[in-house]
């Protein structure tokens, strides 16, 4: 089973991102779970969401404490939350930041993929310019980095899961996918 933990802030689309990834994997015949964890339910508060992907039915019903991979939508989150807690060695950290991987504090036994998803989302007018919604771009980057789901499945999932501006979100996803190095 592959377990992915998402970190971000309320209003960034963290929960929708986990649903998009799960939907994309389901389209490829996998069994999936996607669910959120909220602290203070307000815009800007830290939010976590979780996705499980497996070849067999998933009976586990708890948060993900030892993820295989992380997707971090807000680059300030690691300053207040220990996002790497429990992350398995060799796991991917896909983080929304223009900074280079070697500049990030999460150096260690992880594979860091950075993407300036805020720039991509703002460019495609996804959310307000001061707080762009980066979820679909981040899922596109994760898909490319890990190869766990195809770009085509992600795009189909966006059409079903994203209620506003699906076309703009698909264009942003393609741009993020193309900007992410294959590993």
CA distance 19 to 49: 9
Per-residue pLDDT reduced to its tens digit, 84-141: 889 999 999 999 998 766 555 555 688 889 999 999 999 999 998 888 999 999 999 9
Q: Does residue 12 have a pLDDT over 90?
A: no
pLDDT of residue 101: 60
- Domains of the chain (ranges; CATH) run 2-179 (3.40.920.10)
Mean pLDDT of 45-60: 93
Q: Is 111 helix (H, G, I), strand (E, B) or coil?
A: strand
Q: Which DSSP category does 81 fall into?
A: S
Local confidence band at 179 (pLDDT 50, 70, 90 cut-offs): very high
């Amino acid at each position: 089973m592959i377990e992915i933990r998402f970190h971000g802030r309320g209003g960034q689309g963290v929960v929708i991102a986990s649903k998009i990834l799960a939907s994309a994997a389901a389209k490829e015949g996998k069994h999936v779970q996607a669910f959120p964890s909220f602290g203070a339910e307000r815009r800007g508060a830290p939010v976590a969401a979780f996705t499980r992907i497996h070849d067999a039915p998933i009976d586990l019903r708890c948060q993900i404490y030892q993820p295989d991979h992380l997707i971090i939508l807000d680059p300030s989150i690691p300053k207040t939350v220990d996002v790497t807690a429990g992350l398995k060695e060799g796991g991917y950290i896909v983080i929304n930041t223009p900074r280079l991987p070697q500049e990030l504090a999460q150096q260690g036994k992880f594979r860091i993929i950075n993407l300036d998803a805020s720039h991509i989302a703002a460019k495609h007018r996804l959310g307000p310019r001061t707080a762009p919604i980066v979820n679909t771009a981040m899922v596109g980057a994760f898909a490319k980095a890990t190869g766990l789901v195809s770009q085509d499945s992600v795009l189909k999932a966006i059409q079903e899961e994203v209620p506003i501006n699906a076309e703009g979100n698909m264009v942003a996803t393609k741009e993020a996918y193309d900007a992410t190095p294959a590993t």
